Structure 1
Amino acid sequence: MSGVATGRADKGGVTAIVLAGSRGPEDPVAAAAGVSHKALAPVAGVPMLVRVLETLGAVPRIGHTLVLIEKPDLVLADPAFAHLLAGGAVTVLPAAESPSLSVLAALDHAGPDTSFPFLVTTADHPLLTTAMVDHFWTNLPSGADAAVALARSETIRAAYPESRRTYLRFRGGAYSGCNLFAFRTPRSRSVVTFWRQVERDRKRPWRMIRQLGPLTLLAFALGRLRLDDALAALGRRTGTVLAAVDLPFADAAVDVDRPADLTLAEAILRRRSGG
């Protein structure tokens, strides 16, 4: 089929979904890099999406990866991705109009309920490592239908005190998202459906918490809402058991949303390589 890479070369039981959709020509990172999609912006000379796919390809538990981007040919025709596509372990699909709809499209493409579990991440996560993925997956509670990876504010600020992050503040700590999600059972599909209602409020936690009811909102406003209680309320709303995994990696919370993030990511990669 034109515009879609097909084929499977599974080596593990988890399917990865990489969201590589564009925010349009106004995206500051894409504009600064002179590319149409932020996912294609080079970080230390390598497109962000390539870095993410190479990391996922090195995780034994991941058997296949689905990439969601508006124009699949941007990946299929780019020589930078040739080594990733050659083995058949990567499929490129057209992105939908929002991240949640893209995830639903990927779930539908993967087939029946037996396709679970899934790991979801984003293309603007060039600092992703196999250690982050392994820590997240191996620390998932056994009974959870879905889970999110978070990093504590003190973990991030100890490493990058001047980095701007968005924090969700709960009783007992503040957390930043790490762009890693697990959808382990067919029931977790309802979480993606709920996500459609709140994805526009990703950086406005009040509106997100309001979806969970007035008492939960009041507890959040007073600084008394615990993370576990928020997850339990969301679980009741979606008919699932939800969990959060605390990642001890400050780099896991550094995605590339602004040119300043790109500068930071390149500095971190130079440090990792000893440059």
Structure 2
Amino acid sequence: MTGLTALVLAGTRAGGDPLANYAGVSHKALIEIGGTTMIERVVAALMAAPAVGRIVIAIDRPELLNDLPGLQPDVCGKPWTTMSTQEGPSATVAAALAQEGTPLFVTTADHALLQAAWIDEFLAACPPEADVAAALAPRQAVEAAAPATRRTWLRFSDDDFSGCNLFLLARPKAAGVIVFWGEMERLRKEPLRMMQRLGWWFALRYRLGWLRSAAAAERLGALSGGARLALVSMRDGRAAIDVDKAADLDLVRRLVAAEGPGLNGPSTSSGR
């Protein structure tokens, strides 16, 4: 696969992001790690991934990117552009899908450890028949990479997994998955209605730890208009470590400092 368009979600929450406020910046994407903003680190990984041909950054204030060294034409070797964010992540992805079509690779600006090798691994492992593929990392791999990290776990009977913020929207049926994702976003504070939508037996099997990950993917695909959904297990547990809270930021800064600037992106300072 070559010439792939990559979407990077880099917007901020309505009313501001607590972590951005903690770090003293307007957007989480502008938080510096190892002297480089997170958005520059993510773009550097996408630049180094052979499959990626161009980059679209979804951000509500595109002018914030203008002076970032890692996004200048003489540094960023692939074309990039911006698009407006929508009301929430699913709505933004839906707008990008309508604009760009499939296939579309999706990640987030807070995936500060992202590596081109992980993108290659993920894309190579995506089943050719899948309409949508999502990357997960097993608990053992995540805890081996960062024993102290606290992640949100998907607890299946075959393993516990944490999401990696890497998605491939491979075919037009992916649109149904994004619509279903938006529905789940709207129901996140109404657990009973969410369980009803998912199906009581499905929800109970998951709650009791009886549900296999493949069965969950099949059910979610069926609820998304018959899309074929694949879950791809990543070898490196760091692929599941994004920056959602202050403890994550401290952890990622320690990991980058320990590995050096070559961990996933440029060493150029943004000067802020």
Structures share fold, TM-score greater than 0.5: yes
What is the RMSD of the two structures over their aligned residues, measured on CA atoms?
A: 2.4
Give the drift of 1:109.
2.2
CA distance in 2, matches of 1:12, 1:126: 23
Aligned to 1:120: 106
User: Does the aligned pair in 1 maintain the 2:56–2:81 contact within 8 Å?
Assistant: yes
2:211 to 225, 249, 253: 225
Give 3-state SS (helix, strand or coil) of 1:133's partner: helix
C-alpha separation in 2, matches of 1:199 and 1:163: 25
Q: 1:273 to 1:203 in 2, by over 3 A?
A: farther
Code of the residue aligned with 2:243 in structure 1: it is V
* Contact 1:25–1:36 (8 Å) recurs in 2: no
Deviation at 1:203, TM superposition (A): 10
Structure 1: runs of 5 or more not aligned = 1-10
Q: CA deviation at 1:81?
A: 2.4
TM-score (norm 2): 0.88
- CA spacing shift, 1:130–1:206, aligned 2, 3 Å: farther
1:49-88 to 2 correspondences below 5 Å: 49-83=39-73
Superposed displacement of residue 128, structure 1: 0.4
Q: CA deviation at 1:133?
A: 0.5
Q: Within 2, Cα distance between the matches of 1:202 and 1:51?
A: 30
Aligned equivalent of 2:18: 28
Of 183, 187, 200, the residue aligned with 2:169 is: 183
Q: CA separation in 2, counterparts of 1:204 and 1:66?
A: 33
Instruction: Decide whether aligned partners of structure 1 residues 202 and 183 sit closer, same or farther in structure 2, where only a CA change above 3 A counts.
Output: farther
Cα pair distance change 1:86/1:14, threshold 3 Å:
closer
Match of 2:256 in 1: 269
Within the alignment, does 1:255 sit opposite 2:242 as a pair?
A: yes
Aligned pair count? 261
Asked if 1:164 corresponds to 2:150, the answer is yes
| Structure with the larger RCO, 1 or 2 (CA within 8 Å, 6+ apart) | 2
TM-score when normalising by structure 1: 0.87
Give the equivalent residue in structure 2 for 1:100: 90
Q: After superposition, what is the alpha-carbon deviation per residue over 1:166-210, rounded to whole angstroms, capped at 9, x for unaligned?
A: 001011111100000110001111111111011356799987665
> Percent identity between the aligned chains?
42
- Partners of 1:274 and 1:50 in 2: how far apart? 12
Contact 2:34 2:261 in 1 (8 A): no
Tell me which moved more, 203-212 or 77-86: 203-212
